[in-house]
Structure 1
Amino acid sequence: MTESLLKEFLTSGISVGCANFVTLPLDVLKVRLQTQGASFSSRAAAPGLLATTSSIVRHEGFLALYSGLIPALSRGLFYGGARLGTYGPIKTALGGDKENNSLLRNILAGCLSGAFAAAVTNPIDLVKTRLQAKDSPFRNAADVVRYVVKEQGISGLWTGTTPSVIRAAALTATQCASYDLAKQWWMRQTGMRDNVATHLGASMLTGLATTTITAPVDLVKTNMFVGGRRYKSVLHCAMTIVKEDGPMGLLKGWTAQYIRLGPQTMVIFVVMEQLRRASGLESL
């Protein structure tokens, strides 16, 4: 049992770590687009994905697109390992298996595993986001930790935990439940077996569903991480965004998020399926 859980954790953590490395520049762009000030509330005036990329490379250098690399890899290993690594065991504990694949059970298992992982690894996510923010004054992760603890105490490292937990629960539930269903649908429609081509197709569909559902919560989480004490609560942060940017402001950075989350989801599930097979675990 312990060996199986360790395999679940490692295969999931390594998969998410690989995906985070591949898509980190897009994560940086997503954070920048999500934290643009109210002066860019007009859609016509707001810098888009290409303009933001060009500005970062021109003014900060190419390596700025890899800001927060170490926290991103650390978060991938621990957050990814806990989020996806506990999904299967939780689903099994709730009575799920290949023959009894209830959508409601899959969603509940995803919510529980995602919420647990986000709550535990929130400080790593906060550090990564602070390092990626525009004009970040921090040189490294230790700088961020020292500053936050000095200004807000140890509890400050858990700023934004509520939206982070909500996002992770929604992300994991959507990602895992969608992948379960998309994989079954893909094999029925194409006649393909459980192979790499099926994993690619199912994960592409999963990335689209996941991005759409989690985009507003991810935006609130990012702004709370960067804004510090500016926001009193999740609701206050969301209302501030709507007031400054309008209702569509809750989808700010959607394109960058999809461009990142689509490939990230694909890398996660393709790599994880291969690692699971190599380690003797059942396919997802």
Structure 2
Amino acid sequence: MMAGGAGQFIASPADLVKVRLQMEGRRRLEGQPVRVKNTAHAFTQIVKESGVRGLWRGWVPNVQRAALVNLGDLATYDTAKHLILVKTNLKDNYVTHTLASACSGVVAAIMGTPADVIKTRIMNQPTRDGKGLLYSGSVDCLVKTVKQEGFLALYKGLIPIWTRMAPWSLVFWLSYEQVRKFSGTSSF
């Protein structure tokens, strides 16, 4: 959790710029003026509008999301792998690793999607003088989202998030297990 959260804190400005750039298509469809033209323009606009600290708008839910995804992925993989080995006749091989990675990807997506929804909404909200106009923070966004749209609104994008995470999880865990095997490290 700590490594995922720390890494995401450092990467938060790039994530904020990505969200701003991705929203330009929607803004154009709505007939709104272009907010940012490219990556460099997005960075300079954010700093101009909110100062250097503005580059970390949405960092709290961003870090929460990364910590939850890492927790879900890491803890679930070992737990699922252990249960598969104990409760079935499967051996400690690629089939077991694939099944355990599928479980870990699903849990990581389920744990991370609410924070991803909140992060995106906070990062993409309109601002004035560097302050968000819709949400004062993560908890405010969470409460307003559930109150206005229902609990399931926190899971908007779950399937695409999982389909993005699933290949990563599969490749990571299969690679990890091969490195573990070649280094002679035992599984448990």
TM-score by length of 2: 0.78
Per-residue CA deviation, residues 23-45 of structure 1 (Å, 9 max, x unaligned), is: xxxxxxxxxxxxxxxxxxxxxxx
2:12 and 2:155 map into 1 onto residues whose CA distance is 22
SS at match of 2:167: helix
Unaligned 5+ runs, structure 2: 28-33, 127-131
1:115 aligns with 2:5: yes
CA RMSD of aligned residues (A): 2.5
Preserved contact between residue 122 and residue 158 of structure 1 (Cα < 8 Å):
yes
Structure index of larger Rg: 2
2:173 and 2:122 map into 1 onto residues whose CA distance is 29
Preserved contact between residue 187 and residue 193 of structure 1 (Cα < 8 Å):
yes
**Alpha-carbon shift at residue 280 of structure 1 (Å):** 4.4
Match of 1:164 in 2: 62
2:184 and 2:55 map into 1 onto residues whose CA distance is 35
Q: For CA contacts below 8 A with separation 6 or more, give which structure has more relative contact order.
A: 1
2:123 and 2:176 map into 1 onto residues whose CA distance is 29
**Matched residue type, 1:186:** I
**Alpha-carbon shift at residue 225 of structure 1 (Å):** 1.6
Match of 2:31 in 1: none
Match of 1:194 in 2: 92
Distance 1:140 1:270, change over 3 A: farther
Choose which of 221, 240, 247 in structure 1 pairs with 2:151. Answer: 247
Preserved contact between residue 273 and residue 283 of structure 1 (Cα < 8 Å):
no
1:127 aligns with 2:17: yes
2:164 and 2:54 map into 1 onto residues whose CA distance is 28
Match of 1:267 in 2: 171
1:140 aligns with 2:44: no
Match of 2:108 in 1: 210
1:149 and 1:121 map into 2 onto residues whose CA distance is 16
Unaligned 5+ runs, structure 1: 1-110
Match of 2:129 in 1: none
**Matched residue type, 2:19:** T
The number of equivalent residue pairs is 173
Distance 1:248 1:185, change over 3 A: same
**Alpha-carbon shift at residue 279 of structure 1 (Å):** 8.1
Deviates more, 1:216-225 or 1:247-256: 247-256
Distance 1:194 1:126, change over 3 A: farther
Q: 1:73-112 to 2 correspondence within 5 Å?
A: 111-112=1-2
1:142 and 1:281 map into 2 onto residues whose CA distance is 47
Percent identity of equivalent pairs:
32
1:280 and 1:246 map into 2 onto residues whose CA distance is 49
**Alpha-carbon shift at residue 132 of structure 1 (Å):** 2.4
SS at match of 1:133: helix
Per-residue CA deviation, residues 236-274 of structure 1 (Å, 9 max, x unaligned), is: 222332343233222222222223233332233224444
1:258 aligns with 2:154: no
TM-score by length of 1: 0.54
